[in-house]
Amino acid sequence: MSHAAADAHLLEPGAGVYHKKLGMWVFLASEVMFFTALIGSYIILRFGAAESWPVPSTVLNIPVTALNTFILICSSVSMVKAYAAAVEGDQKRLRLWLLVTVIGGATFVGVQVFEYTHLIHEHFLPSSGLFGSTFYTMTGFHGFHVSMGVICMTWVTIQAFRGRYTRENYHGVEVIGLYWHFVDLVWIILFTIVYLI
Amino acid sequence: MESTEHKHPNYMAVWAVLFVMTVIEVGVAMLSHIPRALLVLVLLGLAIWKAVLVAMYFMHLKFEPRRLLFVVLAPLPLAVILVVIVLQEFPG
Amino acid sequence: MTTAAVHHEAAAGGHHELSFVRKYIFSTDHKIIGIQFLFMSLFFLLVGGLLAMMMRWQLGYPGKAVPGGGVLPETMASGGVILPEFYNSLVTMHGTFMVFFAIMPLLVGVYGNYLIPLKIGAPDMAFPRINMASFWIAFGAGIIMLAGFFATGGHAAAGWTSYAPLSARSDLSGVHMGQVLWLVGLIVLGLSSILGSMNYITTVVNLRAPGMTWFRLPLSIWALFITAILVLLAMPVLSGALIMLLFDQTLGTHFFDVSAGGQPLMWQHLFWFFGHPEVYILILPAMGIVSDIIANGSRKPIFGYHSMVFAIGAIAFLGWIVWGHHMFQSGMNPMLGTSFMISTMVIAVPSAIKTFNWMGTLWRGNIHFHTPMLNALAFVSMFVIGGLSGIFMASTPVDIFQHDTYFIVAHIHYVLFGGSLFAIFGAIYFWYPKMFGRMMSERLGKVHFVLTFVFYNLTFFPMHFLGMTGHMRRIYDPTQYEFLRPYQGTNRLITVGAFLLLASQLPFIWNFFWSLRKGAKAPLNPWRDNGLEWTVPSPPPHGNFATTPTVHHGPYEYSSPLTTDDYLPQNQEVRP
Amino acid sequence: MHWLPPQASTFASEIDFMFWVILVITGIAFVIVEVGLLWFVIRYRHRPDRRAYYTHGSKTAEIIWTAIPAATVIVLGVWSGRVWGEIKRRDRLPANAVRVAIAAKQFEWNVTYAGADGALGTPDDFTVRNQLHVPVDRPVVVDLTAEDAIHSFFVPVFRLKQDAVPGMRIPVWFEATQVGEYEIACAELCGLGHYRMRGMVHVHTQEDFDRWMLARAAGGEGR
């Protein structure tokens, strides 16, 4: 089977986007439901239960996390800049922005580890009531997603340095970007409902 | 192909808006004297607005075929159904 | 086309020779992966069946040693007599294996993989490597699940629904490691299912051959597509719930722990929010496959194709708002119960539509009784019983009495065995020649069918009567209760039926393995079917189609006036 | 052989009646489908000279067999909702009922009676294991709780079943109509001894019940 024949029906029926992008969006739909289970349980346990909930700022360090939020948003911007560079075929800027993104993501995870160590040191554990349970489960799984993202992003960056992505072939960058922004988006929600409310 | 269909939006402007909104959020959260219901409403509103900005511009949903929007929106009603119905169960 | 380089993984892998390992073990070919799923899930079907036999023995002959039970370790059976703790593990693992490792992979893993690309005219799945990963992840999950039997404290014993807090606290169930392995196994399986369904959805949306419009898709593909959506959105909710339960069990979190404000009922809500769509995941593909086989066997277009599609869609949509009907007696707010009851009643309608449309297909047909058709007919007649018995439990007041009795056990088995499993047998007979290039023996197939049909009914029909007496499910020894003692004869009858039912599978096993080597060579289109899969050699080569087919017709153009033959393949152009 | 157990509560006959009505309705549907299937399968079996009738369906037929089941299930639904509300709605518990509390735990039912003052939560309450004593022809409200796992309070002759959930207090009521002794079963898998979590309901005449209550409240056996 020739590639031309395979490509012919790529664009005929279908969603009008290429496979990997559609696949990633479909996967993200699934991720929405995963976080719905975790965040939904948090909402149910916190707002449905009669027991009082500790004020988050008395337990958690809001300024540090606000800074961390800022770092993650910045890495989202650098990601989208990398994508724009890839589309334009600008190899130098592509590599630069990807590197910035990887560093941003790694920093976020690092700060989270620091935050966890600090909290555990202060005896705030997953077993510390419903707040501890939900806090560590939600932020932990978000952190896990960021870590996975950093690993994949590192791989994409290495590929970029090898010159894999061109003006014609930027799909890898776009698809990992979608995942990255999604993880950012989840954090935006988590930061608000876990730390601020 | 797809890349030429739209010009890149001004990503730095989006970033600036996100930054300002985060600052506002933290600021609002630190105000202690506003009613709690209002606080929750404002914070949630800001968070959702930020999330929509990220989806629309960074994930360029705004520039994708309309059909893709179905994929993205499909889980949202389910999420709402789940949480709202189970909350009926435990009216705190 | 400038993006060709990126897409080459979706196209055929080319003609170069692959090593044995790449070709049959770590294969990215959807057909090999489908066959791998077939062997794995048939194995788990057998395991689940054997577990059921031990349960049945204990129920029919409580306190008597299982024949050959001496080989079981003392922690499971004392002198061959099953212990209550092992019985609870049997209950749990029979359900878990059958639902997650037999029926679900048989329908979605095997036929989703095998049929989707072939029937839509695609060279392979959209993501062949993810497809391979999805099989091996499921395989790993199966190993983890089996490992639980060897864990100290025995395997998980809180039922396949694992209601918290019994499943969350090892001091209540006496099981810790087994429960942890159960949870991890299901989380891993969930990942496999999510990756698989992502692949199916992308493939069906993006890889249909030219002319294969949405309303020319065979119903089997429609059903598998909708099922993939259900898996995609339901499975992660289960994963989330399982993770919380795992943390309760291992990290000391309090999600379902009342003493710290946790909510045991939240587990049930999350579980059934997944669990009800799961019920449709287990039956929709079977309905699709049966629709294909019935149209073929009747040599007639399916009756009301569009309403069949809309019925699948309606079931899938309504399936999200009926989960509470598993929880009528759970302590859930009774007002919520009423709304769940109404939506449950409504969901009976699309099932009724489908049944009548199958009958409409048979009406004025020219019915051939090949083994797949016999199994498909059994599906319709047995699914009707399962569907109708559902109405008893849907009616909230009747459910007060019937809930958690053998009535529900009968109901679930009429749907999952009488429904799904007969469809699976039909599918195996129907697509075996495509998969292996040889026919299965029709005579043995009919013997297998008749025996299975008879003993299946002998086993499960009397369970309705037991349910009427109030016989609880999941009890180790029914003779503990005075009100159940008069019905012990019925229990024994069911046990005899169950053993005969297992024995009836011997002709199938023989037929399956014997035909692999000795079966008659399959002709190109043995069932004279319209599907695109029959336009290529059996088994099809890597890449499936030599040239991408163009589709000209819907899938069920049997006995069409356009041709003198009684079938019209989807890719065959007819010039008037 | 009688399959449904004897009826010993006010709503047992109503539930059984619904059961039979649904059995008749589903029975008719069952016969129509199975006889139809069998008839078509025999009548239209393959014959060498036969050609199937080429049709894609009939709107009229489909509307009919959508509308009839839809109407039937909706009627059943509305009827069920009414009966369900009578039995299980927590804001419609009968007044002047005898109140007892049952705490389920692995693997027993602990029944707490109000004692002489007729009120629960007072010092003269007393608890009896696995024995529920109630007067005949008077509504009884049971406050159901669980101490460890989820259990399910099931009295077949009353057609009553309700899960007992840790952390929840769920009221259920019944009114016994027959004096006698009946079994209580646990209907929700609750662990190792689930199968032997058995109790008894003793339905007395009002006089017998009062006598029993006085004897126990005075500190008789079984405290």
Encode pLDDT of B51-75 as tens digits: 999 999 999 998 888 888 888 888 9
Tell me how long chain D is: 223
Q: How confident is the model at residue C4 (pLDDT cuts 50, 70, 90)?
A: very low
The verdict on a CB contact (< 8 Å) between A127 and C253 is yes
Q: Which of residues 122-141 of A touch C (CB under 8 A)?
A: 125-127, 129-130, 132-134, 136-137, 141
Minimum-distance CB partner of C174 among D3, D18, D192? D192
Identify whether the C-beta of residue D182 lies closer than 8 Å to the C-beta of residue D203: yes
User: How many cross-chain Cβ pairs, A to C, lie less than 8 Å apart?
Assistant: 183
Per the CB < 8 Å rule, is D84 touching C559? Answer: no
Q: Cβ(C264)–Cβ(C163) under 8 Å?
A: yes
CA C404/CA C336 separation, integer angstroms = 20
Indicate the range of A166-170, B6-10, C273-277, C514-518 predicted with least confidence.
Answer: B6-10
Going by pLDDT thresholds of 50, 70 and 90, the confidence category of residue C327 is very high
CA distance D181 to chain C (A): 11
Whether pLDDT at B5 is above 50: no
Contact B74 C263 (CB under 8 A): no
Do residue A23 and residue C234 have CB atoms under 8 angstroms apart? Answer: no
The DSSP symbol for B90 reads -
State the DSSP string of chain D: ---SPPP-BTTHHHHHHHHHHHHHHHHHHHHHHHHHHHHHHHHTB--TT---------HHHHHHHHHHHHHHHHHHHHHHHHHHHHHH-GGGPPTT-EEEEEEEETTEEEEEE-TTTT-TTSTT-EEEESEEEEETTSEEEEEEEESSS-EEEEEGGGTEEEEE-BT--EEEEEEB-S-EEEEEEE-S--STTGGG--EEEEEE-HHHHHHHHHHHHTT-TT-
What is the DSSP code string of C475-514? -S-GGGSGGGGGGHHHHHHHHHHHHHHHHTTHHHHHHHHH
Percent of chain C past pLDDT 90, that is, above it, reads: 92
Domain limits of chain C?
A: 24-535
Q: Which residue from C165, C482, C486 is facing D166, i.e. has the nearest CB?
A: C165
Q: What is the ipTM of this complex?
A: 0.94
DSSP per-residue string spanning A1-63: --HHHHHHTTSSSS-SS-HHHHHHHHHHHHHHHHHHHHHHHHHIIIIISSS----HHHHS-HH
- Work out the minimum CA distance from C427 to partner chain B, whole angstroms: 31
- Can you give the pLDDT at residue C25? 86
Q: Do residue C330 and residue D30 have CB atoms under 8 angstroms apart?
A: no
Structure confidence at residue D124 (pLDDT): 85
Judged by CB atoms closer than 8 Å, whether chains meet at B19 and A22 is answered as no
Determine the length of chain C. Answer: 576
Q: What is the pLDDT of residue C10?
A: 40
Rounded distance, CA C171 to CA C308, Å?
A: 50
Using CA coordinates, name the residue in chain B closest to A31.
B75
Q: Please count the other Cβ atoms lying within 10 Å of the Cβ belonging to residue A8.
A: 14
| Cβ pair C353:D170 closer than 8 A | no
Q: Are C548 and A8 in contact (CB under 8 A)?
A: yes
Name residue C432's amino acid: Y
Shortest CA gap D60–chain C (Å): 11
Residue of B nearest to C321 (CA): B81
Give the mean pLDDT of A125-146.
95
Q: Using an 8 Å Cβ cutoff, are C548 and A9 in contact?
A: yes
Please give the average per-residue pLDDT across D30-54, as a whole number: 95
C237/B82 Cβ within 8 A? yes
Verify whether the Cβ–Cβ distance B51 to A81 is below 8 Å: no
The reported pLDDT for the residue numbered D219 is 67
Candidates A14, A49, A126; nearest CB to C251: A126
Asked if the model's pLDDT at residue D223 lies above 50, the reply is: no
Higher-confidence position of A16 and C183: C183
Please count the residues of chain B. Answer: 92
What does DSSP say about strands D180-186 and D170-175: parallel, antiparallel, or unpaired? unpaired
How sure is the predictor about A13, in pLDDT bands with cuts at 50, 70 and 90? low
pLDDT of C137 above 50: yes
Question: How do D131-135 and D199-204 pair as beta strands?
Answer: parallel
Of A40, A63, A192, which has the smallest distance from its Cβ to B79's Cβ? A40
- Whether the Cβ atoms of residue A149 and residue A76 lie closer than 8 Å to each other: no
Q: Are C515 and C436 in contact (CB under 8 A)?
A: yes
- Look at A41 and C201 and tell me if their CB atoms are within 8 Å: no
Any idea what DSSP says for residue B62? Answer: G
* Of the candidates C409, C182, A49, the residue with the CA atom closest to the CA atom of residue D189: C409
Do D148 and C172 lie within an 8 Å CB cutoff? yes
Alpha-carbon distances, residue A187 vs A30, A136, A182, C314 (angstroms): 17, 14, 9, 34
Q: With bands split at pLDDT 50, 70 and 90, how would you rate the model's confidence at B2? A: very low
Percent of chain D predicted with pLDDT > 90: 85
Q: Which residue of B1, B49, B54, B84 is the best one to mutate when testing the A interface, meaning the one whose CB has the most A CBs within 10 A?
A: B54
Closest-CA distance, C219 to chain B, in angstroms, reads 22
Question: How do residues D146-173 score in pLDDT, each as one tens digit?
Answer: 999 999 999 999 999 999 999 999 999 9
CB contact under 8 A, C333 and B75: no
Backbone angles phi, psi at C302, to 5 degrees: -65, 140
Q: Which residues of D touch C334 (CB under 8 A)?
A: 84-85, 88-90
In this prediction, residue C3 carries a pLDDT of 37
Contact A177, B54 (CB under 8 A): no
CB contact under 8 A, C261 and A38: no
- For the domain spanning A62-197, the CATH number is 1.20.120.80
Write down the pLDDT at residue B3: 42
| pLDDT value, residue B6 | 56
Question: Cα–Cα distance between C212 and A159 in angstroms, integer?
Answer: 37
The residue ranking higher by pLDDT, C1 or A98, is A98
Chains in contact with D, where contact requires at least 3 CB pairs less than 8 Å apart:
C
Residue C12 has pLDDT above 80, yes or no: no
Minimal Cα distance from B36: which residue of A? Answer: A197
Three-class SS state of A154: helix
What's the token pair of residue D22?
Answer: 């649904």
Amino acid at D216: R
What is the set of domains in chain D, with CATH numbers? 12-88 (1.10.287.90), 95-217 (2.60.40.420)
SS3 C36: helix
A171-191 burial, b at 16+ Cβ within 10 Å, e below that, comes to bbbbbbbbbbbbbbbbbbbbb
Model confidence pLDDT, tens digit, residues C66-103: 988 889 999 999 989 999 999 999 999 999 999 999 99
CA dist C40 and C45 (Å) reads 9
Judge: C304–D57 Cβ closer than 8 Å, yes or no: yes
Cβ of B72 and A79 within 8 Å?
A: no
Which of the pair, D205 or C19, is modelled with greater confidence?
D205
Quick check: B1 pLDDT over 80? Answer: no
Q: Which has more pLDDT, C110 or C6?
A: C110
* Nearest Cβ partner for C336 among B1, B74, B88: B88
State whether D162 and C329 contact (CB < 8 Å): yes
Q: What is the pLDDT of residue B88?
A: 86
Contact D135, D204 (CB under 8 A): yes
With cut-offs at 50, 70 and 90, classify the pLDDT of residue A92.
very high
Q: Is the peptide bond before C539 cis (omega within 30 degrees of 0)?
A: yes
Mean of all residue pLDDT scores within chain C: 94
pLDDT of res. A4: 40
Which distant-in-sequence residues (6+ apart) come within 8 Å of C50 by Cβ? C502
Q: Mark yes or no for CB contact C3/B1 under 8 Å.
A: yes
Secondary structure in 3-state letters for C392-448: HHHCHHHHHHHCCEHHHHHHHHHHHHHHHHHHHHHHHHHHHHHHHCECCCHHHHHHH
Q: With CA atoms as reference, report the closest residue to A13 among C387, C287, D124, C550.
A: C550
**pLDDT value of position D1:** 61
Q: Which of A10, A21, A196, A197 to mutate to test the interface with B (most CBs of B within 10 A)?
A: A196
Minimal-distance CA residue of chain D relative to C477: D195
Asked if residues C487 and C464 have their Cβ atoms less than 8 Å apart, the reply is no
From the CA of A61, how many Å to the nearest CA of chain C?
Answer: 21
Q: Which residues of A touch B39 (CB under 8 A)?
A: 197
Helix axes C334-362, C305-318, angle to 10 degrees: 160
Query: Which chains lie within 8 Å of chain B at 3 or more CB pairs, if any?
Result: A, C
What is the bridge-based pairing of β-strands D151-155 and D160-164?
antiparallel
For residue C237, give the nearest of A29, D150, A139 by alpha carbon.
A29
**Across residues C259-280, what is the average pLDDT?**
94
Which residues in chain C touch residue B90, judged by CB atoms under 8 angstroms apart? Answer: 263, 265
Across residues B4-15, what is the average pLDDT? 78
- CATH homologous superfamily of C24-535 equals Cytochrome c oxidase-like, subunit I domain (1.20.210.10)
Contact residues on chain C for D106, CB-CB shorter than 8 A: 172
Domain residue ranges of chain A, discontinuous segments joined by +: 62-197
Taking contacts as CB-CB distances below 8 angstroms, the residues of chain C near A54 are none
Give residue-wise pLDDT tens across range C101-131.
Answer: 999 999 999 999 999 999 999 999 999 999 9
3 state SS of B31:
coil
Q: What average pLDDT does the segment C286-314 reach?
A: 96
C265 close to C324: Cβ distance less than 8 angstroms: no
A-chain CB neighbours of B61 within 8 Å are none
Banded model confidence at residue D216, pLDDT cuts 50, 70, 90: confident
> Rounded to 5 degrees, what are φ and ψ at D161?
-145, 135
Those residues with Cβ within 8 angstroms of residue D179's Cβ, 6 or more apart along the chain or in another chain: D136, D203, D204, D205
Minimal-distance CA residue of chain B relative to A197: B40
Return the structure tokens found at C476.
């180790």
Mean pLDDT of C340-355: 94
Radius of gyration of chain B (CA): 17
Interchain CB contact of C493 with D (< 8 Å): no
Which of C269, C323, C342 to probe the B interface (max B CBs under 10 A)?
C269
Q: Nearest CB to A130: which of C6, C209, C254? A: C254
